[in-house]
Amino acid sequence: MSMISGLISYLRGNEKKTAIVAKERLQIILAHERAGRGAPAPDYLPALQEELMVVIAKYIHIDRESINVQLEKHGEYDVLELNITLPDKMRLNR
């Protein structure tokens, strides 16, 4: 639902109460912020991303924005997350 239509239905009175919206928004943003807390991102991440980029580009045509490397904390564990968005029609080099 777009913001405008959300606002309209809120004004009509058939939208979720704003307190519930507030709570849900807080739960989402704080889960994210708590995960990102703790140790700062290690400084090898940009270099790692760069080298992965080179390797992947050998096989798949992707641009720089389609690959994303980040470190997240899941409870006890640090998880290295690698996100590659493949182009719509995946074209292989060979």
Partner 1 sequence: MSKVIVVTSGKGGVGKTTTSASFSSGLALRGNKTVVIDFDVGLRNLDLIMGCERRVVYDIINVINGEVSLKQALIKDKNCDNLYILPASQTRDKEALNLEGVERILNELRETFDYIVCDSPAGIESGAFTAMYFADEALVVTNPEVSSVRDSDRILGILAAKSKRAVDGLDSVKEHLLVTRYDPKRVEAGEMLSVTDIQEILRIPLIGVIPESESVLQASNAGTPAIHLDKSDVAEAYRDVVGRFMGEEGLPMRFVTVEKKGFFKRLLGGR
**Nearest-approach distance from CB 71 to partner 1, in angstroms:** 17
Give 36's Cβ-side CA count (13 Å radius): 7
- Report the residue number, 61 or 73, with the smaller CB distance to partner 1: 73
Write the interaction track for partner 1 spanning residues 11-50; mark x where CB under 8 A is met and - where it is not: ------xxxx-xx-xxx-xx--xx--xx------------
Element (H, E) at 22: helix 18-36
The C-alpha atoms of residue 59 and residue 53 are separated, in whole angstroms, by 10
Amino acid, single-letter form, for residue 74:
H
Binding residues vs partner 1 (CB under 8 A): 17-20, 22-23, 25-27, 29-30, 33-34, 37-38
